[in-house]
């Protein structure tokens, strides 16, 4: 099948978020874990490659993104997309800007847009400033993110140090005027040699106007929501044939586990809600893992009835996270937790877990790689931007959901398992 749209995501939860929103259209979507080693075959109109490069060194992130781009080129993609988090989180050096400029160079593109807005999840951009709910980004819980603390809400100020080209803005008033006005604004900024354009969006109608205006741009960047209208645009142009959504088998055994590494405010609330329902749980602590190793957690897991869908979590308050980072260093504290949850995912699978819920972008990457999953089929959506995915791990059929830390309601973990029962 001809590939029309090729996307590169900077983490695994973001990739499933994007794939899930694209799949709402009913057209086939393929999600690849890492850059495929084999040449493109059995491709879908919408191909998404999930990388784990959000906090990697800039040179490594750029190299992986370029390799993914090369594969998507070989697949025949006509339009390309760089997907990052709807909270624009990255390190001061990148990786949003450097990856975007590398892709622009490889494609010979002089201009692109940046729109991480996701109104369904409370992410809005107004006058270049990103809001999380009713709070500016810098006043939201993201200000204390353990890996990418966001202390500025202005996307232009965040982006400019990361890129060589000029950064500009298309504000909400222009967006509200419609696609023609947005297109003209892009052209006007091009005359001023503005390569990177932040675009305001506060509602889904804004996203539709923006994608319509930018439909002929070869390369776009943003959160997942800005890509949501694209399948309809392709269909209107006759690029997609009518297609009924394929039915994905959902006869997955009920034994399951929740693995939570995110320390976001929402994930903390989700852990507390799940525990309040009487679910068995075990807390991982980086300092204990460093001192005692993983065996206590492994022993606890081995004693569990996986039909009860137990929870293993490293989720903690910002103060607790900082205390561990102060003793171990930020990188080592995170790496210890990721490695532990990855090993526990494999142990849970070998023990019979077939429904695995993962919270946190970094954790999702570690778990997915440990399970040796290289392709996911997109299933039913649990919450906006968070679908169940179906895959094979060492010959076993697995239902896997990868949740960004900030996504979902407080009842997300139990909602996830209930969704499969209803499917």
Tell me what pLDDT residue 92 has: 79
> With b meaning 16 or more CB within 10 Å and e meaning fewer, what string describes 143-172?
bbbbbbebebbbbbebbeebbebebbbbeb
Domain, as residue range, for 45? 5-236
Q: Does residue 412 sit in the same domain as residue 280? A: yes
Q: What domain count does the chain have?
A: 2
Tell me what pLDDT residue 89 has: 85
Which pTM was predicted?
Answer: 0.84
Q: Does residue 292 sit in the same domain as residue 384? A: yes
Tell me what pLDDT residue 307 has: 97
> With b meaning 16 or more CB within 10 Å and e meaning fewer, what string describes 33-51?
bbbbeeebeebbbbbbbbb
In a domain, 248, yes or no: no
Strand residue runs (E) in 335-417: 355-359, 375-383, 386-393, 396-403
Q: Which of 236, 271, 306 is the last residue of a domain?
A: 236
Tell me what pLDDT residue 267 has: 96
pLDDT by residue for the chain (423 residues), tens only, comes to 789 999 999 988 889 999 999 998 889 899 999 999 999 998 999 999 999 999 899 999 999 999 999 999 999 999 999 999 999 987 778 899 999 999 999 999 999 999 999 999 899 999 999 999 999 999 998 888 877 888 999 999 999 999 999 999 999 999 999 999 999 999 999 999 999 999 999 999 999 999 999 999 999 999 999 999 999 999 999 999 765 445 455 689 999 999 999 999 999 999 999 999 999 999 999 999 999 999 999 999 999 999 999 999 999 999 999 999 999 998 899 999 999 999 999 999 999 999 999 999 889 989 999 999 999 988 889 998 899 999 999 999 999 999 988 899 999 999 999 998 876
Q: Does residue 189 sit in the same domain as residue 264? A: no
Which secondary-structure segment (H or E) carries 201?
A: none
Q: Does residue 79 sit in the same domain as residue 158? A: yes
In a domain, 282, yes or no: yes
Q: Does residue 372 sit in the same domain as residue 403? A: yes
């Amino acid at each position: 099948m001809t590939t029309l749209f090729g996307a590169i995501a900077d983490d695994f939860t973001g990739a499933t978020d994007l794939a899930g929103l694209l799949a709402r259209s009913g057209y086939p979507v393929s999600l690849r874990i890492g850059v495929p080693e084999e040449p493109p075959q059995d491709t879908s109109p919408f191909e998404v490659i999930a990388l784990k490069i959000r906090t990697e060194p800039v040179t490594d992130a750029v190299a992986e993104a370029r390799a993914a781009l090369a594969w998507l080129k070989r697949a025949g993609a006509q339009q390309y997309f760089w997907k990052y988090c709807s909270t624009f989180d990255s390190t001061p050096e990148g990786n949003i800007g450097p990856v975007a400029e590398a892709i622009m160079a490889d494609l010979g593109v002089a201009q692109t847009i940046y729109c991480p807005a996701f109104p369904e999840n409370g992410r809005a951009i107004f006058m270049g400033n990103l809001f999380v709910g009713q709070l500016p980004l810098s006043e939201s819980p993201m200000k204390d993110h353990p890996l990418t603390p966001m202390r500025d809400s202005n996307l232009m100020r965040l982006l400019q140090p990361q890129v060589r080209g000029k950064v500009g803005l298309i504000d909400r008033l222009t967006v509200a005027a419609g696609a023609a006005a947005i297109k003209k604004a892009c052209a006007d900024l091009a005359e001023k040699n503005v390569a990177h354009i932040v675009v305001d969006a506060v509602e889904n109608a804004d996203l539709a106007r923006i994608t319509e205006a930018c439909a002929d741009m070869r390369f776009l960047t943003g959160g997942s929501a800005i890509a949501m209208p694209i399948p309809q645009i392709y269909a209107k142009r006759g690029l997609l044939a009518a297609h009924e959504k394929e039915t994905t088998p959902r006869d997955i055994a009920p034994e399951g586990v929740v693995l939570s590494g995110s320390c976001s405010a929402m994930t903390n609330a989700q852990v507390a809600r799940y525990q309040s329902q009487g679910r068995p749980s075990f807390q991982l602590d980086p300092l204990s893992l460093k001192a005692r190793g993983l065996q206590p957690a492994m022993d606890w897991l081995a004693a569990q009835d996986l039909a009860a869908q137990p929870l293993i979590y490293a989720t903690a308050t910002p103060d607790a996270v900082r205390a561990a980072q102060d003793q171990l260093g930020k990188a080592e504290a995170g790496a210890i937790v990721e490695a532990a949850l990855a090993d526990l995912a494999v142990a849970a699978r070998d023990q019979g877990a077939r429904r695995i819920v993962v919270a946190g972008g970094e954790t999702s990457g570690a778990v997915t790689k440990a399970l040796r999953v290289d392709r996911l089929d997109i299933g039913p959506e649990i919450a906006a931007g968070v679908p169940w995915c179906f895959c094979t791990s060492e010959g076993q059929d697995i239902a896997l959901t990868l949740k960004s830390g900030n996504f979902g309601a407080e009842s997300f973990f139990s909602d996830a398992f209930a969704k499969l029962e209803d499917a």
